[in-house]
Structure 1
Amino acid sequence: MIVIKYLWYYTFWTIVRFGLRIYFSKVKVTGLEKIPRNTPVIFGSNHENAFIDALLITTSNTLFDHYLVRAGVFKNAFAKAFLNSLNLMPVYRPEDGVNPLEANKQIFRACFETLAKKYSVMLFPEGEHNIRRHRRVLKKGISRIALGAVNFEGGTKELSIVPVGVNYADHTGFRSAVHIVFGEPIVVKQQEESAANVNKLTLEITEALSKVHVSLDRNEFEGLDAVLFHDQNPYQIIEPVRVNQTAKKLGQRIDEVRQIGLEKKELEQAGVIFPYRESTGWDQCKMWLLAPLGLFGLLAHVPVLLPVNWFVSNKVKDIEFVASLKFGFSLFGIAIWWWFLANRILTQTEQWPIVLLSLLVLVLGLIGMNSFVRKWRNFRMTRFLRANPILGTKYQAFVADVDKLRASLD
């Protein structure tokens, strides 16, 4: 039975990993060598992007991961069976209509038994998901599980908590960049499960986690976000050490940061959509060169893209679920669609090289469509600002203030 479970888990793991490498233009992973191999591991991660956070973490390491997720997704019987088969376990909250302390006792015990077998457990100690890149107060569940596991009869006497940071360039966009950072492990040995030890361990995890993901000051988030990310440079956003160091320096210039935040808010109220970078002549040239490929990518995938976009636009209320649903529906929808097209092409041509070439063109069409859409949005915003000279002047003043502040930090 365990062999079948392993085969199913790692088959799904392989499919999802392949899909994520298409969905994201860049998946950077650092710190894999820090994951202990001789003790059970608890992965504790920031949580900005719903299910896709867990998918990125688990497909970035080869351990037999088990996950704690909110109980609400287990309500459907089919979903429950599917999620259980992939090592997902429900964690209960007061809004789930049960006593969370009692309901979670069984789940905690399952975690203890999982760690005793030297498998890994993944959870999100922030207790919420939110795309805003700031530090959050952690829940104490991760510490209680760790201390409970090392005191569990017949369980492990030592484990490691590995902080994981998932850093997105763009939380909802196709072909964006992401950086998964595995931090220094926190070794937990057998000790009393006292409130003092729980609080001490939670603080230690909080500090470790804040080093591996972009964790801006919550109270000054609007201004810091305006200074650091208004132009959405993906190679800057996904480097947490560099961004957090810059944010710390900006904390000494807080009045200027707040003023820039107010300027950005005023521009947004006037119709400017951030993140935005001015579209140059070369950008526009590349956009029109991409147009034929983008149009082909759109037309070739209408049967999949149309229902997915309709569902996301009309049924998804929380932006944190957008990427997860886009990826999930597209992964299986596009796979089925490509399988159908491949069979039709093979029937017509009886030539496998033509089938493979056609699939490559379909992939390039999707990428070209996405690149065209991104450049088209910047192009439209550039035209909007140029058609409004007063607003354009305010935007240029905003950029000048940001550049001046950034330059003063170097």
Structure 2
Amino acid sequence: MKRIWLSFVRGYIGLGMFFYFRRIHVNNIENVPKNKPVLVLSNHQNALLDALLIAIKCGRFSYFLTRAGVFNKPFVAKILKSLQMLPVYRIRDGWGNLANNNAIFATCSKLLNNNACIVIFPEGNHSLKRTVRPLSKGFTRIIMETFEENPALDLQLLPVGLNFKHADKFPDSTSIYFGKPIAANTYVSENKNESVIKLKTKIQSEIAELTTHIPKDNYDSDLNRLHSLDVDFLKPKAVNNCLNSGFEDCESKKPDSNFRFFKNVFKILLIIAFILPVLVWKYVAKPKIKEIEFLSTFRFAVVVTLAPLWLIVVFATITFTLGWQLAFGYFIASLCIALLAVKL
């Protein structure tokens, strides 16, 4: 029953992402181990959308370590736990709550010993900045405890790079790069401190190759230079090469399609077709968002909840007043408008 529920949710979210993103490029999916315990370690830019993208595209039913603050309401907590999300506590959640992580890390070790796949964002927080921030040591603790329980476990570490064209805008495009799996036991020794340093250094280096990594020293000026060169942020290897060459070896992205007029027309039609969800987003939901990193997450939530409800209500209304033929025509037309507005 649990697998059926997870398959339904994954299918529904995947459909929502099809209508939300212009393009989703998945690279090196063959690198994801199929029958081994895996820690997926990814950069973290776009709040919950990061987790959803990995959940939909990695090919495995994964568990996710999620900040404990979102589990505060019992009903929400029940839903999140049914989706295999595990709360992890940070200092901002109170020193007294940090001890709760002991049970969570023990659960992670148990899951990995059962060949599970666990997703962690080791930066510990999210930011739209195009850089890989210093990693926290939480994921190394899970690795150490897992090997203490089962030293012979073939635990794989899978670095992932998430890349967004314009993370706060709609529609956006994204690219996911799955790195080569790393055998965790090759970085673990009896010297725990040394092992932690090696693991953090290796994983940060691997993630930094799978997403754009602009060093913090000249971040703003380097980012502006990349924008002026019109690089393609969906191709991190090329962007990083541009940075490392001192902006000598840089590739400009291909120009957008020549359908700008039609894009604008279909965007207007999209607003008309989904007027109520658009108004709720613009005047109710969006003004309450305090962190820009959550902008796309809540916009996506409106897309997968209010938009379908609006379609159903209007479909039912037209059916009872004008007949099912017109209602069906409206339904198909609305989907076509949505697709053309997003995909052009």
1:363 aligned to 307, 331, 335, which one? Answer: 335
- Bigger radius of gyration: 1
**Contact between 1:165 and 1:182, CA under 8 Å: does it hold in 2?**
yes
For 1:217 and 1:199, locate their aligned partners in 2 and report how far apart those are by CA, in whole Å. 20
Which amino acid is the alignment partner of residue 204 of structure 1? K
Change (3 A) 1:291 1:77: same
**Contact between 1:161 and 1:187, CA under 8 Å: does it hold in 2?**
yes
CA deviation after TM superposition for structure 1 residue 75, in Å: 0.6
User: Would you say 1:208 and 2:206 are equivalent positions?
Assistant: yes
Q: Secondary structure at the match of 1:25?
A: strand
**Contact between 1:316 and 1:322, CA under 8 Å: does it hold in 2?**
yes
Alignment length (residue pairs): 336
Moved more, 168-177 or 81-90: 168-177
Moved more, 295-304 or 16-25: 295-304
Calculate the TM-score normalised by the size of structure 1. 0.76
Unaligned runs of 5+ in 1: 254-277, 373-410
CA deviation profile, 1:280-339 (whole Å, cap 9, x unmatched) = xx97x943x555543332122121111112234321110000000000122111011112
**Contact between 1:166 and 1:179, CA under 8 Å: does it hold in 2?**
yes
- Specify the alignment match of 2:83 in structure 1: 86
Identity of aligned residues (%): 26
User: Would you say 1:179 and 2:175 are equivalent positions?
Assistant: yes
- Specify the alignment match of 1:225 in structure 2: 223
**Contact between 1:150 and 1:158, CA under 8 Å: does it hold in 2?**
no
1:316 aligned to 289, 292, 295, which one? Answer: 289
Higher relative contact order (CA 8 A, sep 6+): 2
CA deviation after TM superposition for structure 1 residue 169, in Å: 0.2
**Contact between 2:132 and 2:213, CA under 8 Å: does it hold in 1?**
yes
Which amino acid is the alignment partner of residue 163 of structure 2? N
User: Would you say 1:325 and 2:312 are equivalent positions?
Assistant: no
For 2:247 and 2:50, locate their aligned partners in 1 and report how far apart those are by CA, in whole Å. 29
**Contact between 2:289 and 2:295, CA under 8 Å: does it hold in 1?**
yes
Query: 5 Å matches for 1:180-195?
Result: 180-189=176-185, 191-192=189-190, 194-195=192-193
- Specify the alignment match of 1:296 in structure 2: 269
**Contact between 1:46 and 1:166, CA under 8 Å: does it hold in 2?**
yes
User: Would you say 1:350 and 2:319 are equivalent positions?
Assistant: no
- Specify the alignment match of 1:158 in structure 2: 154
- Specify the alignment match of 2:252 in structure 1: none
Calculate the TM-score normalised by the size of structure 2. 0.90
Change (3 A) 1:113 1:231: same
Query: 5 Å matches for 1:249-260?
Result: 249-250=245-246
For 1:350 and 1:100, locate their aligned partners in 2 and report how far apart those are by CA, in whole Å. 55
CA deviation after TM superposition for structure 1 residue 349, in Å: 3.0
CA deviation after TM superposition for structure 1 residue 362, in Å: 1.4
User: Would you say 1:76 and 2:50 are equivalent positions?
Assistant: no
**Contact between 1:45 and 1:165, CA under 8 Å: does it hold in 2?**
yes
For 1:311 and 1:232, locate their aligned partners in 2 and report how far apart those are by CA, in whole Å. 35
Query: 5 Å matches for 1:354-393?
Result: 355=327, 357-366=329-338
CA deviation after TM superposition for structure 1 residue 345, in Å: 3.9
User: Would you say 1:46 and 2:19 are equivalent positions?
Assistant: no
For 1:358 and 1:248, locate their aligned partners in 2 and report how far apart those are by CA, in whole Å. 52
User: Would you say 1:28 and 2:33 are equivalent positions?
Assistant: no
Unaligned runs of 5+ in 2: 250-254
CA deviation after TM superposition for structure 1 residue 119, in Å: 1.2
**Contact between 2:62 and 2:116, CA under 8 Å: does it hold in 1?**
yes
Q: Secondary structure at the match of 2:7?
A: helix
**Contact between 1:169 and 1:176, CA under 8 Å: does it hold in 2?**
yes
**Contact between 1:115 and 1:156, CA under 8 Å: does it hold in 2?**
no
**Contact between 2:23 and 2:343, CA under 8 Å: does it hold in 1?**
no
1:240 aligned to 222, 236, 241, which one? Answer: 236
CA deviation after TM superposition for structure 1 residue 61, in Å: 1.9
Change (3 A) 1:232 1:55: farther
Q: Secondary structure at the match of 1:145?
A: helix
Moved more, 289-298 or 30-39: 289-298
